[in-house]
Chains A and B, each alone.
Chain A
Amino acid sequence: MPQPSPNTMDMNATAVSGTDSATATLPPPESPWRLTARRFGRRLPGVIAAAFLMLLVLLALAAPLIAPQDPYDLAQVTIVENERAPGALSDDGRTTFLLGTDGAGRDMASAILYGLRISLGIGVASALVALAVGTVVGLTAAYFGGKVDAVLMRIVDVQLSLPTILVALVLLAVLGQGVDKTLLALVLVQWATFARNVRGSAMVERNKEYIEAAMGQGLPAHRLMLRHMLPNCMAPLVVTTTNQMANAITLEATMSFLGIGLPQTEPSLGLLISNGFDYVLSHQYWISVFPGLALVLLVVSISVVGDQLRVVLNPKLDT
């Protein structure tokens, strides 16, 4: 059987050879991305979750355009209108507070849209940076093997043996609060997962003939790693990235809820929930519950998409 070209994803090769052995006579195979999209499209929970996720991303991106008020513009918020129940009218009768207002008179719907932006931004950014760091470490370990591999993987082991929340706690205790510091803490707790993952798939690829052939051509190490090994490690990496985004968003929300994550000037969903926590005991549920629902919807839809991708990208699981 001919080796797949280095740029074809491995899952494509397995899927094709598994279902149809007469590939040679067929038109050129679908691109792996299209194949994945088509198979994903057949799975209802995945489609629903993806639709929700897209909606949330759009809402977050368009927050300044669609939010009824800028909740952090003091000219638009009056304390007089605080703790209004959902559906209440503003004093000038022009706006309805769909989801109520918080203790400072902010429109909760607007605050949630802005919070979604911050939560999503931090989660995605930290997962992507961790992905980059972890990929470089994982590929380096797999490519060079031997001592390099042993040292790098020991560090990964140590990192992974520590509970994420403790690592984040130490870092934030040391560095103090702030967006950059929270981002750094999130990257630090995530990179090792990516590194182990990439190293695992890259080790398998490393021993295949096409890598040997590419090495025989005298290609430089970085080209071999990035152009030849990496594309074949993509399938599991996509799943890990999705799951890590969900984890990062949850962890950031947790840290912010505990008062050691983002500062009050960057109100993510976690911070909104935290600010509303005291009101729960006095029956003003909306200040905390609606941001929480937004957070849950966001995290659950990312998780479901990740879970479905895992099945779609691994033909052995797709029954």
Chain B
Amino acid sequence: MLDMLARRALQSVLVVFVMSILAFVGINLVGDPIYLLVPPDATQVEIARASKALGLDLPVHQQYGRFLLNALHGDLGNSFIFNRPAVSLILERMPATLELAVAALILSAAIGIPFGMWAGLHPGSMGQKLAAGFSILGVSVPVFWMGMILIMVFSVGLGWLPSGGRGPTASLLGVQVSFLSWSGIKFLLLPALTLALHNIALIMRITEASTRDVAHQEYVRFARAKGVGPMRLMFRHIAPNVMIPVVTVLGLEFAHLIAFSLITETIFAWPGMGKLIIDSLLQLDRPVVVAYLMVVLMLYVLINFTVDVLYLVLDPRLRTKAA
């Protein structure tokens, strides 16, 4: 088990390292960033001096070494546009993104698991067919289009919910959050639903398959024969085993939600780091793009690793097998 975790940890570090090279090479070496930094009327001497000051005249591997060293100290350069450290720009916007991702995760679990279990226990029923149809739709309908339709129906058409922005936030333990007031929740609802849609379908599908597997096992039939009531059967006997794959997927999907939230944030003008990255990409603000990629990748790798550990905790079979 430790062996496996160590291998996973090593692989995670490798992923981050490879990605840092890619991001660095791609974003710093394609085109000369010095021309983005100096005023257009700068002379050759001034350009040379600025290059030297920024270390842009060094050989590539030395530049990368400096980048890596600075990165390890949490410094990924200054934004060209805001003229502030890129990392702090990202971190400022992270709570908004995390709140959106958590809200979407809760929605997908709250909708996906009950419907999935119901469908799994009633194969062939009308409800199961509806669930299957919904999950195909949910997985294949593009997120951005769904967001637009929700805006059209609930904001433009019915006028119930705002079409974008974050609305009022309140401070919770020093972090600005939306979910503490109804007017804040109103802003959160549509983006969270949009982000969750794909996941609801996925969770429903996995819960259904898992429930179907578990419900046909001997021990469930035995428990039923023994006279265990339907409620107790469901929650004490079936649910725990259904949850193993579901929890894993939920964990992995949380990482996905953070990465994919950039689509939802763009549609709803949600002021998270995803919107920042798209704006920065379009304005060629390279340090912010690199910083975003590194921060999200770290989060991603960290979450994946945590899920691996959780998986071992949840499923005792894996522990004995690996040990």
> Chain A: residues with CB nearer than 8 A to chain B?
154, 157-158, 161-163, 165-166, 169-175, 246, 250, 253-254, 257-260, 270, 273, 277, 280-281, 283, 285, 288-289, 292, 295-296, 299-300, 302-304, 307
Contact = CB atoms under 8 A, between A and B. Distances in A.
Interface of B: 11, 14-15, 18-19, 22-23, 26-27, 30, 136-137, 139-145, 148-149, 151-152, 155-156, 163, 255-256, 259-260, 262-263, 266-267, 277-278, 281-282, 289, 293, 296-297, 300-301, 304
27 contacts: A157-B11, A158-B11, A161-B15, A163-B300, A166-B293, A166-B296, A170-B23, A170-B26, A171-B26, A173-B26, A246-B140, A254-B263, A258-B278, A259-B282, A270-B144, A273-B144, A289-B148, A289-B149, A292-B142, A292-B148, A292-B149, A296-B145, A299-B141, A299-B142, A300-B136, A300-B141, A303-B136
A165 to B, nearest CB: 6
Given A259-B278, A289-B149, A307-B136, A254 B11 contact: no
A306 to B, nearest CB: 10
B15 A158 contact: yes
Nearest to B139: A303
Contacts of B281: 169, 172-173, 260
B260 A163 contact: yes
A303 B293 CA distance: 30
Q: Give 8 nearest A-B pairs by CB, closest first.
A: A174-B26, A163-B259, A292-B145, A303-B140, A299-B140, A257-B144, A300-B140, A250-B142
Contacts of B256: 163
Contacts of A277: 148, 267
B27 A173 contact: yes
A246 to B, nearest CB: 6
A250 B140 contact: yes
A161 B289 CA distance: 20
A260 B136 contact: no
A166 B26 contact: no
B27 A285 contact: no
A119 to B, nearest CB: 11
A201 to B, nearest CB: 21
A302 B139 CA distance: 12
A175 B31 CA distance: 10
Nearest to A154: B11
Nearest to B163: A281
B11 A253 contact: no
Contact of B136 (A157, A258, A304): A304
B262 A165 contact: yes
B137 A300 contact: yes
A165 B15 contact: no
Contacts of B278: 258-260
Nearest to A253: B142
Contacts of A175: 30
B14 A254 contact: no
A300 B132 CA distance: 13
B304 A161 contact: yes
B131 to A, nearest CB: 14
Contacts of B297: 162, 166
A165 B260 contact: yes
Contact of A170 (B260, B263, B293): B293
Contact of A283 (B18, B22, B140, B156): B156
Nearest to B258: A163
Given A170-B22, A170-B293, A250-B142, A165 B148 contact: no
Q: Which of B137, B144, B256, B260 has the most chain A CB atoms inside 10 A of its CB? A: B144
Contact of A158 (B14, B155, B259, B282): B14
Nearest to B304: A161
Nearest to A276: B148
Contacts of B293: 166, 169-170
A174 B31 CA distance: 10
B148 A162 contact: no
A258 B278 CA distance: 7
Nearest to A255: B263
Given A163-B260, A166-B259, A280-B148, A173 B289 contact: yes
A146 to B, nearest CB: 18
Contacts of B139: 303
Contacts of B148: 273, 277, 280, 288-289, 292
Given A162-B19, A285-B152, A289-B149, A254 B142 contact: yes
Nearest to A303: B140
A163 B145 CA distance: 20
Nearest to A302: B140
Contacts of B263: 165, 254, 257-258
B145 A295 contact: yes
A225 B140 CA distance: 34
A281 B266 CA distance: 15
Contacts of A157: 11
A248 B18 CA distance: 24
Nearest to A285: B152
A296 B144 contact: no
Contacts of A170: 19, 22-23, 26, 293
Given A165-B259, A165-B263, A304-B136, A273 B145 contact: yes
A274 to B, nearest CB: 8
Given A158-B14, A174-B30, A296-B142, 17 more contacts: A161-B15, A162-B300, A165-B263, A166-B296, A166-B297, A174-B26, A253-B142, A257-B144, A258-B278, A270-B142, A280-B151, A281-B156, A288-B148, A289-B152, A299-B142, A303-B140, A307-B136
